[in-house]
Amino acid sequence: MDIFGYYIPIELFFILCIIFVVLIICSSTFGIISLMNKSDSVSELVVRTNSWWKMAIGITIVATAPAIIGTIVLAYVVFVALREMLSIIPLRTADRTVLVASYFAIPIQFYLAYKNYYYLFQIFIPLVMFISVSVILVLTGETNRIGRSMAIIPTTLILTVYMPSHMVLLFHVSVSGFTVGAGGLIIFLIMITAFNDIFQFTWGKLLGKRKILPKISPNKTWVGFIGGVLTSGVLGGALSFLTPLDYIKCFYMGLSLSIIGFIGDSIISAVKRDLKIKDTDDLIPGHGGAMDRLDSIVLTTPTFYYLLIFFIEN
C-alpha cells in the first residue's frame, strides 16, 4: 500500500502498526501507574519503554527506508557497539593503531555487504582483518602481552562487526513470489530475538527454579530457557507471513533463533562477569549500553541468514 506516495508492503505496515499500538498501550499504562505509584521499579519501566520507542523508530527506519539508509544506520549501530566493546576490554596503549584499523573495517565490511560482493564479504574480517591485526601488532613492536591482543581484537571484530553485518545481506534475498522484501525479514529477525529475551525472562520469573548457568547468569533457569524456546517457535510460526517460508519452517526458525539468542546473551554476560561490570555502558536509559541490547542479535543474525538461505533452497 502507498503512504504519502511511498510504497510499504501491507504485511510490513500491519506488523509495524501492531508494534506501535503495543508501545502506545505500554506507555499509557505505565504513565498512568507512575502517576499513582512513584516507586523506582515503575519509573524504571517508564524509562525502559521510552528507550523501546527510540529503538522501534530506528528499526522502522531500517526496515522501510531504501537499502542504502538501512546500511548506514546499521553500520553506525555496529560502530557504537564496537567502540563500547573496545572501551571495556583492557587493552595496551600499543594497541591503539590496531583499534583505528578495526574501526576502518566497519565501512569496508558494510560496503561489501551493500554491494553483495559475497566472497569478499565472507573473507574480509575472518581472513584479511585477522592477518592485518596481527601484522600491525607485530609492526608496532611491543611484544609484552601481544598474544592477548592478537586473540582479543579479531574475536571482538567477528562478534560485533562480522556477525551483525549479515543483516545487510538480507536486502539481497530475492525469492519469486515474495513481495514483503528485506524489511519483513529484518522485522522478523529483530522481533523473534527481542521477544525471545522477554519470553525467557518471563518464564524464568514465573516458574523457574533450577538454574541453567549459575556462575554466569543466575537469573537464567531451565524452565525459562525451554519455555522461551517453545514460545519463540510459536511466535516464529505466527510471523511466517513476513518471510518467504511456510509456518512450519518458521517454527523451526523461531526455535533455532531462540537457542542461539540464549547463547549470545550468555557469551556477553560471561565477558561482563569477567570484567566485573554490570552494563557495557549507559547509552540507552534503562537498558545499559548498545552491546547489552545487541548481545543476542549478534549471533542470531548470521543464523537467521544462513538458515533462511538453506530453507529457501531446500
Partner 1 sequence: MRKLFVTLIYTILVRPWLTFFIGVSFHNIKHLRDADQFIIVANHNSHFDTVSIMAALPSKLRKNTCAVASGDYFGKSSLTVSLMKLFFNAILITKKVKPGELSNLEVLDQRIKEGKSLIMFPEGSRGNPGTISSFKKGIAKLLKENPSVPFIPVYLDGFGRVLPKNKILIVPLICKVRFGSPLFATTNDIKTTLEEVKKEILNLKKKNERDRNQFEFY
Select the span of 77-85, 123-131, 136-144, 169-177 touching partner 1 (CB under 8 A). Answer: 77-85
Q: Tell me how far, at minimum, the Cβ of 39 lies from partner 1, in Å.
A: 18
Closer CB to partner 1, 199 or 305, in the complex: 199
Residue type, 138: V
Only one residue has cell 601481544, namely 146
Select the span of 33-41, 211-219, 229-237, 260-268 touching partner 1 (CB under 8 A). Answer: 211-219
Q: Tell me how far, at minimum, the Cβ of 218 lies from partner 1, in Å.
A: 5
Kind and range of the H or E run holding 7: strand 6-7
Identify the bridge partners of residue 82 per DSSP, sorted by sequence position.
Answer: none
In whole angstroms, give the CA distance from residue 55 to residue 52: 5
* Contact pattern for partner 1 over residues 117 through 136, marking x by CB under 8 A: --------------------
Q: Tell me how far, at minimum, the Cβ of 253 lies from partner 1, in Å.
A: 28
* Contact pattern for partner 1 over residues 249 through 278, marking x by CB under 8 A: ---------------------------xxx
In whole angstroms, give the CA distance from residue 285 to residue 44: 9
Smallest CA-to-CA distance from 264 within 227, 208, 235, 302 is with: 302
- Binding-site member from 281, 284, 296, 299 for partner 1 (CB under 8 A): 281
Residue type, 38: K
Closer CB to partner 1, 249 or 293, in the complex: 293
8 A C-beta contact, residue 269 and residue 291 = no
Q: Is 209 in the site for partner 1 (CB under 8 A)?
A: no
In whole angstroms, give the CA distance from residue 38 to residue 53: 21
Local structure of residue 252 (DSSP, 8 states): H
Closer CB to partner 1, 64 or 266, in the complex: 266
Q: Is 35 exposed, middle or buried (0-12, 13-18, 19+ CB in 10 A)?
A: exposed
* Contact pattern for partner 1 over residues 21 through 60, marking x by CB under 8 A: ----------------------------------------
Kindly give, in sequence order, each residue whose CB lies less than 8 Å from that of residue 17, ignoring residues fewer than 6 positions away: none
Closer CB to partner 1, 11 or 265, in the complex: 265
Q: Where along the sequence are the contacts to partner 1 (CB under 8 A)?
A: 80, 83-84, 86-88, 93, 96-97, 99-100, 103, 217-219, 276-279, 281-283
